[in-house]
Amino acid sequence: MSRAFAYVILGGGVAAGYAALELVRHGDGVSPGELCIISDEAVAPYERPALSKGYLLPRGAARLPAFHTCVGANDELLRVQWYTDHGIELFLGTRVVSADVRRKILLTANGETINYKTLIIATGARALKLEEFGVSRSDAANVCYLRSLEDAHKMEGVMRSCHGGNAVVIGGGYIGMECAAALVANEIKVAMVFPRKHCMDRLFTPKIAEFYENYYAAKGVTFIKEARVTSFETLSDGKVTAAILRDGRSLPADMVVVGIGARANTELFDGKLAMEKGGIKVNGRMQTSDAAVYAVGDVAAFPVALLGGDVRRYEHVDCARRTARRAVEAIMERSDGAEERGEKGFDYLPFFYSRVFALSWQFYGDNVGEPVHFGDFSVSSGPAGARPKFGACWVSGGLVAGVFLEGGSREENEAVASAVRSRARIGDMAAELESRGLAFAELE
User: Contact with ligand FDA (CB under 6 A): which of 96, 190, 255, 282?
Assistant: 96
Residue 388 DSSP one-character state: P
User: Contact with ligand NAD (CB under 6 A): which of 144, 170, 282, 400?
Assistant: 170
Q: Is 174 in the site for ligand NAD (CB under 6 A)?
A: yes
User: What distances in angstroms separate CA 111 from CA 97, 98, 302, one per listed residue?
Assistant: 9, 10, 33
Min CB(66)–ligand NAD separation in Å: 19
Decide if 302 contacts 311 (C-beta within 8 A): yes
Q: Is 367 in the site for ligand FDA (CB under 6 A)?
A: no
Q: How many CB atoms lie within 10 A of CB 279?
A: 25
- The partner in contact with residue 176, picked from ligand FDA, ligand NAD, none with C-beta cut-offs of 5 to 8 angstroms by kind, is ligand NAD
Q: Is 176 in the site for ligand NAD (CB under 6 A)?
A: yes
Scanning residues 213 to 232, which ones bind ligand NAD (CB under 6 A)?
228
Min CB(158)–ligand NAD separation in Å: 18
- Encode 292-326 in three state secondary structure: CEEECHHHEEEEEHHHCCEEECCCCHHHHHHHHHH
User: Contact with ligand FDA (CB under 6 A): which of 24, 37, 52, 361?
Assistant: 52
Size of residue set near ligand NAD by CB under 6 A: 23
Q: Is 133 in the site for ligand NAD (CB under 6 A)?
A: yes
User: What distances in angstroms separate CA 430 from CA 362, 406, 423, 440, one per listed residue?
Assistant: 21, 19, 16, 11
- The partner in contact with residue 261, picked from ligand NAD, ligand FDA, none with C-beta cut-offs of 5 to 8 angstroms by kind, is ligand NAD
**Would strands 229-234 and 279-281 be described as parallel, antiparallel, or unpaired?**
unpaired
Scanning residues 49 to 68, which ones bind ligand NAD (CB under 6 A)?
52
User: Contact with ligand FDA (CB under 6 A): which of 34, 49, 56, 395?
Assistant: 49
User: Contact with ligand FDA (CB under 6 A): which of 8, 38, 257, 306?
Assistant: 38
Q: Is 162 in the site for ligand FDA (CB under 6 A)?
A: no
**Would strands 255-258 and 143-144 be described as parallel, antiparallel, or unpaired?**
parallel
Of residues 72 and 171, the one with the C-beta less far from ligand NAD: 171
Decide if 256 contacts 232 (C-beta within 8 A): yes
DSSP 128-176: PPGGGGT---TTSTTEE--SSHHHHHHHHHHHHHTTTSEEEEE-SSHHH
Span of 182-190, 310-318, 369-377, 379-387 interacting with ligand FDA by CB under 6 A? 310-318
Alpha carbon 347 to its chain's center: 20
Q: Is 296 in the site for ligand NAD (CB under 6 A)?
A: no
Query: Phi and psi (nearest 5°) for 253?
Result: -140, 115
Scanning residues 336 to 375, which ones bind ligand NAD (CB under 6 A)?
352, 354
Whole-angstrom distance, CA of residue 294 vs CA of residue 269: 12
Min CB(352)–ligand FDA separation in Å: 5
User: Contact with ligand NAD (CB under 6 A): which of 86, 316, 325, 373?
Assistant: 316
Q: Is 122 in the site for ligand FDA (CB under 6 A)?
A: yes
Omega within 30 of 0 (cis) for the link into 199: no
Q: Is 257 in the site for ligand FDA (CB under 6 A)?
A: no
**Would strands 2-10 and 113-121 be described as parallel, antiparallel, or unpaired?**
parallel
Whole-angstrom distance, CA of residue 247 vs CA of residue 230: 9
Amino acid letter, 5? F
Min CB(310)–ligand FDA separation in Å: 19
Closest residue by beta carbon to ligand FDA: 13
Residue 394: partners with Cβ closer than 8 Å, 6 or more residues away? 365, 366, 367, 368, 369, 370, 371, 372, 400, 401, 402, 403
Question: Beta partners for 106?
Answer: 99, 114
- The partner in contact with residue 13, picked from ligand NAD, ligand FDA, none with C-beta cut-offs of 5 to 8 angstroms by kind, is ligand FDA
Q: Is 402 in the site for ligand NAD (CB under 6 A)?
A: no
Q: Is 315 in the site for ligand FDA (CB under 6 A)?
A: yes
> Which parts of this chain interact with ligand FDA (CB under 6 A)?
11-16, 38-41, 48-49, 51-52, 95-96, 122-125, 146-147, 265, 268, 297-299, 315-318, 320, 352-354
> Which parts of this chain interact with ligand NAD (CB under 6 A)?
52, 125, 133, 170-176, 178, 194-196, 228, 259-262, 315-316, 352, 354
